[in-house]
């Protein structure tokens, strides 16, 4: 089963925002590349006609860019069909079974609210639609450890583990995949990639915009659940994992899970929560909401390689830049021979991964100025990749799931281990501190990192100095 290609794609929540913004453009790209050759059956509550669904698909593609291949568009539209009804009414699954016809290996994509995941998965099993099929589950996979364990229990009762694809679109990004490649394709990193040479690690994921029209969702999630526990933790795992025993996604998953298992559970002192001024005025947000739109935390990994090295993670909305960056700061030389060998921010040697919006890897070092004096400047050895023809994460992940390739998806034990780290602070924490739009969050975040320096604030299209 794991190696066979799906012969149908079922999109639950086909009329929703995720399908409109992400999935339709991905399907169009797959059609352009000749990778979409199976029926696409949309399922949702609204009583739409097939024509309305096709118009929605075309609008989603236009909103993401432009329609530049009419043959691919017509091919995609010709594959569509639609089933409407209430997910809690089992008759909709009988209609879906009829719509699938002779398909034996459907992939079911759950682009629906998380509260519906268990009901739909159970109904798929009861209708016989799970036999030979796969299921793609959108994040968040649970709200805490208990709910993640329960959802895993339901999913694994209906589908075998290698047929469950827990999607995190960050793992489909080229720049994220490059972390894994860069670490293990280059021998010069290994001798210094440990507690003896690394002083600290910072990971920042910042956005200039607010919650926009997603206030209702954000009220149920917050930054810690929405971004830190999944996206940023996955980046930590790629940076901190041991070399896999062989080239295969099973070995990678095993090593990533070990990282989460070695993470020290968070305590309230490890966490700073913030909320941008004006969040209470957003649509569907409670006037007394304490939900965080910014989160900064200090993390320790109690493994042989990383014991004692602090990892600082932060993410937030309404910050000065939209960027995603990793900074691995190296310890200073054991003896300071030159008076100027340390720059003003105290950060002489580091490795920087700029992950978004552009992709780059930079290595920082001190270089002597010409002349008799031993005075230097801070410089970066800089590599940039434009990646103009890069696949979108959803195109890559959809194609992989339909092909049965689980390399870029998360597994049961990994999800639960990550939830176990944040579980202690999901409800036991200090109130969210207000911060002004366009700033880097509340001042308490600076105090959190102060024992090991200052935050590195990403700049747009950062170039060599």
- For 103, list phi and psi in degrees, rounded to 5: -60, 135
pLDDT for 381 equals 84
| Catalytic pick among 231, 324, 429, 456 | 231
Mean per-residue pLDDT for 52-80? Answer: 95
Question: Can you give the pLDDT at residue 373?
Answer: 80
CA distance 195 to 185: 21
Q: Is 207 helix (H, G, I), strand (E, B) or coil?
A: coil
CB 377 within 8 A of CB 342: no
Distance CA 9, CA 81 (A): 11
Of 155 and 460, the structure prediction assigns the larger pLDDT to 155
Question: Given this model, what pLDDT does residue 347 score?
Answer: 74
- What's the pLDDT at 459? 81
CB atoms within 10 A of CB 44: 22
pLDDT, mean of residues 292-313: 98
Pairing of strands 134-137, 323-330: unpaired
Confidence band, pLDDT 50/70/90 cuts, at residue 465: very low
Q: Which of 349, 355, 366, 44 is nearest to 171 (CA)?
A: 355
Contact between 238 and 179 (Cβ < 8 Å) = yes
Q: What does pLDDT average to over the chain? A: 91
Give 219's DSSP letter. Answer: H
- Residue 464, pLDDT > 50, answer no
Q: Identify the pLDDT of residue 341.
A: 60
Other Cβ atoms within 10 Å of 180 Cβ, number: 18
Average pLDDT over residues 22-45: 96
Please tell me the distance from the alpha carbon of residue 95 to that of residue 83, in angstroms, as a whole number. Answer: 7
Based on the residue annotation, tell me whether 231 is a catalytic residue of this protein: yes
Mean pLDDT across 24-48? 96
- Asked whether the predicted pLDDT for residue 386 surpasses 50, the reply is yes
> What is the DSSP-derived secondary structure letter of residue 227?
I
- Give the CATH class of 171-391+403-452: alpha beta
Q: Tell me: domain 8-138, CATH 3.40.50.720, correct?
A: yes
Return the domain boundaries, the chain. 8-138, 171-391+403-452
């Amino acid at each position: 089963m794991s190696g066979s290609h799906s012969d149908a794609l079922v999109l639950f929540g086909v009329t929703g925002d995720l399908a409109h913004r992400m999935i339709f453009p991905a399907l169009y790209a797959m059609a352009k590349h000749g990778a979409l050759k199976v029926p696409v059956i949309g399922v949702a509550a609204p009583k739409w006609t097939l024509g309305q669904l096709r118009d929605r698909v075309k609008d989603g593609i236009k909103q993401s860019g432009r329609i530049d291949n009419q043959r691919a568009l017509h091919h995609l539209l010709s594959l569509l069909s639609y089933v409407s009804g209430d997910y809690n009414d089992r008759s909709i699954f009988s209609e879906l079974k009829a719509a699938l016809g002779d398909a034996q290996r459907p992939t079911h994509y759950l682009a629906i609210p998380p509260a519906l995941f268990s009901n739909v998965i159970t109904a798929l099993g009861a209708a016989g639609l799970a036999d030979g099929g796969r299921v793609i589950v959108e994040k968040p996979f649970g709200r805490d450890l208990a709910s993640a364990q329960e959802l895993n229990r339901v999913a694994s009762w209906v589908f075998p583990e290698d047929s469950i694809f827990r999607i995190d679109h960050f793992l489909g990004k080229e720049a994220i995949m490059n972390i894994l490649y860069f670490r293990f394709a280059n021998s010069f990193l290994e001798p210094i990639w440990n507690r003896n040479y690394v002083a600290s690690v910072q990971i920042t994921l910042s956005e200039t915009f607010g919650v926009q029209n997603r206030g209702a969702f954000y009220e149920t999630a917050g930054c810690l659940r929405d971004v830190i526990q999944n996206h940023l933790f996955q980046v930590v795992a790629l940076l901190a994992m041991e070399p896999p025993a062989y080239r295969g996604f099973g070995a990678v998953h095993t090593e990533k899970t070990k990282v989460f298992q070695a993470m020290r559970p968070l305590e309230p002192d490890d966490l700073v929560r913030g909320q941008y001024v004006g969040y209470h005025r957003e649509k569907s947000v409670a006037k007394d909401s304490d939900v965080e739109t910014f989160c900064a935390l200090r993390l320790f990994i109690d493994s042989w390689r990383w014991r004692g090295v602090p990892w600082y993670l932060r993410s937030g909305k309404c910050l000065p830049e939209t960027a995603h960056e990793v900074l691995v700061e190296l310890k200073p030389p054991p003896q300071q021979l030159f008076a100027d060998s340390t720059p003003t921010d105290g950060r002489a040697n580091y490795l920087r991964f700029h992950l978004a919006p552009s992709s780059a890897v930079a290595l920082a070092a001190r270089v002597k100025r010409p002349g008799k004096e031993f005075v230097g400047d801070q410089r970066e050895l800089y590599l940039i990749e434009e990646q103009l023809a890069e696949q979108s994460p959803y195109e890559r992940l959809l194609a992989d799931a339909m092909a049965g390739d689980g390399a870029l998806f998360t597994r049961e034990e990994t999800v639960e281990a990550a939830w176990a780290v944040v579980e202690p602070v999901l409800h036991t924490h200090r109130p969210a501190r207000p911060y002004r739009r366009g700033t880097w969050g509340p001042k308490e975040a600076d105090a959190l990192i102060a024992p090991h320096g200052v935050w590195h604030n990403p700049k747009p299209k950062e170039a060599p100095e």
